A and B are shown apart, each in its own frame.
Chain A
Amino acid sequence: QQPVQSPQAVILREGEDAVINCSSSKALYSVHWYRQKHGEAPVFLMILLKGGEQKGHEKISASFNEKKQQSSLYLTASQLSYSGTYFCGTANNNAGNMLTFGGGTRLMVKP
């Protein structure tokens, strides 16, 4: 079943903060966050693993609450380059990285 993302869309001014949430009805092993700009492929941002380990490539943070089967992506002091659609992908086990993606959150950062 597809994880649920909220909000569906958000508009920010440069420098403002945003939080994107991802909830699953199933127990999660890992949560993977991607950003996709219009006309481009999704780009990997961060993975959060069961047990609290967090790995990422950019100055964007995230949390993973295994009990609540939720993850949140925190975008602080947003930049124009943060604009795009953010997807969470969830894996229910560590066998093969089968990801199920949420519906996406469209983020627009304005000057």
Chain B
Amino acid sequence: SAVISQKPSRDICQRGTSLTIQCQVDSQVTMMFWYRQQPGQSLTLIATANQGSEATYESGFVIDKFPISRPNLTFSTLTVSNMSPEDSSIYLCSVDSDRVSRETQYFGPGTRLLVL
């Protein structure tokens, strides 16, 4: 499976500010995904990060709030903009298991965000 790293691992931010989360993979992958996991809850897909084109957002998530970049096949960023306490959550990136078979997803370690 791919080795996935995320930065930062955790942060405490003030409301109204923005935070950019980075996701780096040690091999080229076709699909990269961004999820949000609120405390004690399930995983909710925010968007699919597409290389070379705009991200595809799920219902309830918009580009102005969660802009995403995918400059190449190993890297993506998610920005949480104009943060409020409701944005406090764990943000996880995941990737295809294999560029050819793409059987499942593997998750990065997550970024724990607290907004005050």
Q: Using a CB–CB distance below 8 Å, which chain A residues touch chain B? A: 2, 32, 34, 40-44, 47, 55, 87, 89, 96-104
**Complex: how many Å from CA A19 to CA B97?**
26
Q: How many A-B residue pairs have CB under 8 A?
A: 49
Q: How far is the CB of B65 from chain A (nearest CB, A)?
A: 21
* Residue B109 interfacial (CB < 8 Å): yes
Say which size band chain B's interface belongs to.
20 to 34
Interface majority SS on B: helix, strand, loop or mixed? loop
Contact partner, B109, options A32, A41, A47, A87, Cβ 8 Å: A41
- Contact call A42/B107, Cβ cutoff below 8 A: yes
Contacts of B97 in A (CB 8 A): 44
**Residues 39-88 of B at the A interface (beta carbon under 8 Å):** 41-45, 48
What would be 12 A-B contacts, judged by CB atoms less than 8 Å apart?
A32-B104, A40-B110, A41-B92, A41-B109, A42-B92, A44-B97, A47-B103, A89-B105, A96-B31, A97-B31, A97-B102, A101-B44
